[in-house]
Amino acid sequence: MGVPCIYDRPLTRPPSEVILETHNDDVQFHSESRGCGEAYNILAADMPERHQTLFTLDHNSHAQLDPFQTYPSKLSPDCVSRVLNYSIKDMWPKLFPGFTYKGESFVHEWMNCAMKCPPLFNAWLHSGAEHMQLREQANDQSLQPSTQDNYEILLMEREAILGLKEFVHNSSPDEVTDEIVMCAFALALHPPERKRNATARMRQVPLSNLQWLSRFTDIVIPEGHIRGLRQLVDARGGFDKLEMPGLKQGLSTFNLIVASKYLERPYWPLRARLQPDEVAMFLSAFEPSWPTNSMPLQSCLKSVVPTAMAWEFHAIRGYNALVHEYSQGLCPTLDMAYVLDLRNMVHYHLLSLPTSAEMLETLQDLPPTYESLRLALIAYSLLVLFPIPLTIEPYPRLAHLLRYELELTQMRLDLWMPMIEMLLWVLTIGGISSFETVHRPWYVQRLRWMVQMFGVESWEQLKEIMVSIIWLDTPCDVEGMLLWKEVQESNPTSFVEGPSISSIYMESPLEVIVS
């Protein structure tokens, strides 16, 4: 029997305070996933005759790797060469834009690490092959992977998982290396399950694919894999002890994906080259002026809303304007690595905002609208800054939680004075988030009541109010117009309540917020 598995150690949470780091320069791994029984049968049989596949086609734009190099993989040299060339020249540079190691490309260091760690080598092969296949299919929906393609991906995944599990079960926690952590991270980014047709509801926001984000936000990340990855990092000595180039940066983004899907506070600190005051100063140059009739709203942000939330409003408005200008071709020299840091920092600090329950525990004065604003800001950020397709988590849960908060205050207008327009914005964002959920009729009817009170008679009038707060034409216009159409077609004489909150969820929403 080997040394006790590191996953048997108790999982601990980091301190609750937000940490921003700057710099200069029995776990359920999916070993039985994607029909692995079929993979074992294939592995037991003779290799089929080679033919050209997505991974072996000779693309002139890709230089071949050293043909005499021996790689720690059972796959054919042409498959290894094709996938590595794609990863080295396309996938990795865009996953870490502008990132260098000691002033040079980090790829050479990565390859040296992988050559000494077969599980990592196969995990990188698997992630590169999966990513390449997804891109090919996105460009040609009729393209179906061949049996050979599926075999190769299964073999890559199997070899990586078996190597990782063997290490975990036969090694002590103090033997965990950065390479093993990176192996688990690479497998987590390309799990076997994705939400089918999720991307059909993805409106392509400008700059939304920084770090290939649209390739990763529809993945289903098993909780066991999240726990396992966190425990590997803890066994390594913690996030601060990681030294492999790009590992902290990669985990920072994965951290945001997990926190967004589970509506929890980011587990690890953010690895960024910017300080919050630098972000605020840069984005303030883009933030549009508040309309004259919105001056009370601007003053309320300073006097009523907590400082951290007011910072988020201003930062998101500035980032919003930056994205709009970029989409109009007005920022041709924009540094994508810099924008990436801006986006990640704004979203990180938003997810780090304490819940109203946490704020009240410290006896802080808090406006009763705080939690509704926090949830609406998160929903907006997931639509525009850190896009996740509608209809998948966390939107249904966000719609439920936001409805609960609004019902808790009975939508009393005096609580929103003098920023009553904000209530209309919150309802609209909540309505968009409630697409294809049982909560949609509730949002539609409340919106109908609100627009009648405001005297809003057209989509253009509603959009004008939205733009005065925070709004980006893509993707908000399409989803907003669909919601407006339902509002116009709804029954004008009575509310359609639909199922009550208590009949849909047994637990209180306040109890399911992960802090």
Residue-level pLDDT at 61 = 36
Tokens linked to 398: 């966000």
Pair (79, 198) in one structural domain: yes
Pair (237, 281) in one structural domain: no
Residue-level pLDDT at 203 = 60
Pair (88, 226) in one structural domain: yes
- Residue 60 within any structural domain of the chain: no
Question: How far is residue 413's CA from residue 422's CA, in Å, rounded to a whole number?
Answer: 11
Pair (334, 427) in one structural domain: yes
How far is CA 186 from each of CA 83, 125, 147, rounded to the nearest angstrom? 14, 9, 23
- Residue 52 within any structural domain of the chain: no
Of 240, 343, 324, 232, give the one whose Cα is nearest residue 22.
240
- Domain-terminating residue out of 241, 271, 301: 271
Question: How far is residue 448's CA from residue 451's CA, in Å, rounded to a whole number?
Answer: 5
- Residue 66 within any structural domain of the chain: no
Question: How far is residue 27's CA from residue 5's CA, in Å, rounded to a whole number?
Answer: 10
Tokens linked to 509: 């929403």
Pair (304, 240) in one structural domain: no
| 288: Cα separation from own chain's centroid | 27
Per-residue pLDDT in tens (0 to 9) along the chain, 515 residues = 343 333 333 333 333 333 344 333 433 333 333 333 343 333 333 333 333 344 443 443 333 445 445 567 777 888 888 888 888 888 888 888 878 888 777 887 888 888 888 889 888 888 888 888 888 777 776 777 788 888 888 888 888 888 888 888 888 888 999 999 999 998 888 776 655 555 555 567 788 778 888 777 777 888 888 999 999 999 999 999 999 998 998 899 899 999 999 999 999 999 878 888 888 888 888 887 766 555 556 677 777 788 899 999 999 999 999 988 888 888 888 888 888 899 999 999 999 999 998 888 776 778 889 999 999 999 999 999 999 888 788 999 999 999 999 999 888 888 888 788 899 999 999 999 999 999 999 999 999 999 998 899 999 999 999 998 999 998 899 999 999 999 999 876 544 444 444 444 333 333 333 33
CB 394 within 8 A of CB 220: no
Residue-level pLDDT at 68 = 43
CB 269 within 8 A of CB 256: no
Pair (240, 148) in one structural domain: yes
- Residue 64 within any structural domain of the chain: no
Question: How far is residue 90's CA from residue 111's CA, in Å, rounded to a whole number?
Answer: 15
Using left for φ > 0, alpha for ψ between -120 and 50, and beta otherwise, residue 207 falls in left
Total residues found in the chain within this entry: 515
Pair (414, 497) in one structural domain: yes
Pair (359, 480) in one structural domain: yes
Question: How far is residue 474's CA from residue 154's CA, in Å, rounded to a whole number?
Answer: 37
- Domain-terminating residue out of 252, 271, 290: 271
- Residue 315 within any structural domain of the chain: yes
Pair (98, 170) in one structural domain: yes
How far is CA 282 from each of CA 24, 338, 348, 465, rounded to the nearest angstrom? 19, 11, 17, 25
This prediction's pTM: 0.81
Tokens linked to 199: 């991307």
- Residue 450 within any structural domain of the chain: yes
Tokens linked to 193: 């399950």
Per-residue b or e along 293-308, where b marks 16 or more CB atoms closer than 10 Å to that residue's CB: ebeebbebbeebbbee
Question: How far is residue 98's CA from residue 458's CA, in Å, rounded to a whole number?
Answer: 45
- Residue 300 within any structural domain of the chain: yes
| Counted domains in the chain | 2
Residue 22 carries which DSSP code? E
Question: How far is residue 394's CA from residue 489's CA, in Å, rounded to a whole number?
Answer: 27
SS3 103: coil
- Residue 59 within any structural domain of the chain: no
Residue-level pLDDT at 70 = 59
CA–CA–CA angle 380, 381, 385 (5° rounding): 130
- Domain-terminating residue out of 271, 297, 323: 271
Question: How far is residue 228's CA from residue 232's CA, in Å, rounded to a whole number?
Answer: 6
CB 156 within 8 A of CB 125: yes
**Most distant pair of Cα atoms in the chain: their distance:** 77
SS3 string, 383-421, reads HHCCCCCCCCCCHHHHHHHHHHHHHHCCCCHHHCCCCHH
Pair (200, 321) in one structural domain: no
SS3 15: coil
* Residue-number span of the structural domain to which 178 is assigned: 6-14+30-43+73-271
Residue with tokens 């734009």: 61
Pair (265, 286) in one structural domain: no
Residue-level pLDDT at 309 = 92
CB 325 within 8 A of CB 286: yes
Cis peptide before 367 (omega within 30 of 0): no
Pair (224, 280) in one structural domain: no
Backbone φ, ψ for residue 293 (5° rounding): -80, 0
Question: How far is residue 93's CA from residue 191's CA, in Å, rounded to a whole number?
Answer: 21
What radius of gyration, in Å, describes the C-alpha atoms of the chain?
24
